[in-house]
Amino acid sequence: MITAGQDYLALSQKIESLLVRQNLRGMAKLQPLLRPGYILRAARLINQCRGTVLIGTGFPVLDTFETDGPVGAIALYQLLQQLGASPIIVCGDPLFSQLSADYRCYQLKVNQSQELPAIANQALAELAPQLIISIERPGFNNQKRYSNMRGEDISARCASFDDFLNLATCPTIGIGDGGNEIGMGNLKQALAQLDIIPAVTECDELIVADVSNWAAWGLAAMVSVLRNQDMLQDADPLAILQYLSAKGSVDGVTRLNTITEDSLPHTEGLTLINDLRALLSTVNLAADRA
């Protein structure tokens, strides 16, 4: 049983390892290159927020959006609401139109012009975020274009979130699972070993996972320890997947309207949540707060 004075760094590293244990797209090879404790550091940033938090997500697939990213964004939105923060999901259409009736959203418009920094600066001044999170959001490559996992140029369907992180005066968190997402620029030299056109946009704290959505559950587990409260008790990825499927989402790998994440059944995410909660059972949540 981990009690007061517990090694939060060691616990963070266990969560970090759980998130890449399947090594679906090479993230287990990249993870050792990150400074250990990134889940703990990111969770502390989340735990201390009571103001506005921007959550950028939405990876275009064909003429719609994939399930990976929005599931985690909604999970983080719900977590932040429980903490007393004011989350806003930042995304473009068609995802914006599908979520805005149920969640507080800010719309990004497809725009590859030189006006992007001005657009981001205006939004940052208007929204005044305390924290910015990007989860499975396309990141600019070195040609300032966007590419998917197949190497296809998808710039014409992408709204840009990169400058929100580039110009932010608040901390930023990036979450990715393949190398072409915002934040993966932190590892741009190492990404050369992967079969991907890498993103170059950086962030303050990068989190890698087998499926980007799953990083949200890892963060919730670490916040649980910091707050002495099980924040995964009501985690329900299936409900979120069903909600998104009804809105027209597709699996990013198969491109089919299924209740899956990167071709994996929803039970894979549930298994991770159960394993994270088993890890929490070794922690005394009544211990002194971090």
pLDDT by residue (tens digit) across 192-223? Answer: 888 899 999 999 999 999 999 999 999 999 99
pLDDT by residue (tens digit) across 145-158? Answer: 999 999 999 998 89
Residue 157 belongs to a domain? yes
- The pLDDT assigned to 110 comes to 76
To the nearest whole percent, how much of the chain has pLDDT over 70? 94
Residue 232 belongs to a domain? yes
Residue 289 clears pLDDT 80, i.e. is over it:
no
pLDDT by residue (tens digit) across 80-136? Answer: 999 999 999 999 999 999 999 999 999 998 765 668 999 999 999 999 999 999 999
CA–CA gap between residue 179 and residue 203 (Å, rounded) = 13
Secondary structure E strands in 47-191: 52-56, 60-61, 64-65, 86-92, 105-108, 131-135, 172-176
pLDDT by residue (tens digit) across 154-197? Answer: 998 898 999 999 999 999 999 999 999 999 999 988 998 888 99
The DSSP output letter for 110 is: B
- Is the C-alpha dihedral spanning 188, 164, 67, 70 positive or negative? positive
More reliable by pLDDT, 200 or 4: 200
Q: 0.75 cut: is pTM over it?
A: yes
- The residues, any chain, with a CB within 8 Å of residue 155's CB and separated by 6 or more, are 112, 145, 146
Q: What domain range is 222 assigned to?
A: 8-280
Q: What would the mean pLDDT of 11-15 be, rounded to a whole number?
A: 97
- The pLDDT assigned to 3 comes to 45
Residue 263 belongs to a domain? yes
Residue 120 belongs to a domain? yes
Find tokens 């089919």 and name the residue.
256
Q: Read off the tokens for 264.
A: 């994996």
- The pLDDT assigned to 15 comes to 98
- The pLDDT assigned to 231 comes to 97
To 5 degrees, how large is the angle CA 46–CA 49–CA 53?
80
To 5 degrees, how large is the angle CA 251–CA 43–CA 27?
45
- The pLDDT assigned to 6 comes to 60
Residue 288 belongs to a domain? no
CA–CA gap between residue 140 and residue 147 (Å, rounded) = 8
- The pLDDT assigned to 109 comes to 85
- The pLDDT assigned to 24 comes to 94
CA–CA gap between residue 260 and residue 162 (Å, rounded) = 27
CATH number at residue 193: 3.90.1640.20
Residue 285 belongs to a domain? no
Residue 272 belongs to a domain? yes
Q: What are phi and psi of 244, to 5 degrees?
A: -70, -35
- The pLDDT assigned to 290 comes to 40
237 sits in which H/E element: helix 237-246
Find tokens 């990249």 and name the residue.
30
Q: Provide the pairing of β-strand 264-265 with 260-261.
A: antiparallel
CA–CA gap between residue 217 and residue 200 (Å, rounded) = 26
pLDDT averaged over every residue in the chain? 93
What's the domain count of the chain?
A: 1
pLDDT interval class at 288 (50, 70, 90): very low
Q: What would the mean pLDDT of 268-280 be, rounded to a whole number?
A: 96
- The pLDDT assigned to 148 comes to 92
Residue 11 clears pLDDT 70, i.e. is over it:
yes
- The pLDDT assigned to 112 comes to 58
Residue 37 clears pLDDT 60, i.e. is over it:
yes
Q: Read off the tokens for 121.
A: 């600066």
Residue 1 belongs to a domain? no
- Helices 212-227, 266-280: crossing angle, 10 deg rounding: 20
